[in-house]
Amino acid sequence: MGTPVVPDAWHRLATGRVARLATVGGAAEPHLVPCCFALDGLVAYSIVDDKPKRTTWLRRLADVAERPVATLLVDHYDEDWRQLWWVRAGGPARIAEAATEPPAHRRAAALLLAKYPQYVGHGLEGPVLMVELVRWRSWSAGGRGA
């Protein structure tokens, strides 16, 4: 069952520059990594880019293949604690490959290129992790949260 999306929480998540992506594999061990991401409505996209890695089949992908769920966390820290906030959203997750789902893969790449100019000139041919954001929690020191 989903939780309602507070517009302020959606905006904060959508404009966040880096998220922490949480997955859990078959051994029930949490896996948490920073990631670049982009939103399209209530779907978050993250792509395996061409930055150096041992493999393009990352643990987050293996986890989602075993347990198709993931969560994103974006937060803001400031020395002025009145400015603190965080947003956590997650739900069902799946993997889209360029060869098997070209429209979803192209959409993810276009959204990520629009959000991160650093991706210009980088290969974005790797698998895409798609997360349907149905569970939302948020908090802010200003009192706007769920």
> What top-level class would CATH report for the domain 7-136?
mainly beta
Tokens of 10: 């959606």
pLDDT in tens, 18-57: 999 999 988 889 999 999 999 999 999 999 987 766 776 7
Q: For residues 38 and 12, is the Cβ–Cβ distance under 8 A?
A: no
Tens-place pLDDT, residues 67-105: 999 999 999 999 999 999 999 999 999 999 988 999 999
Residues 6 or more apart whose Cβ sits within 8 Å of residue 98: 105, 125
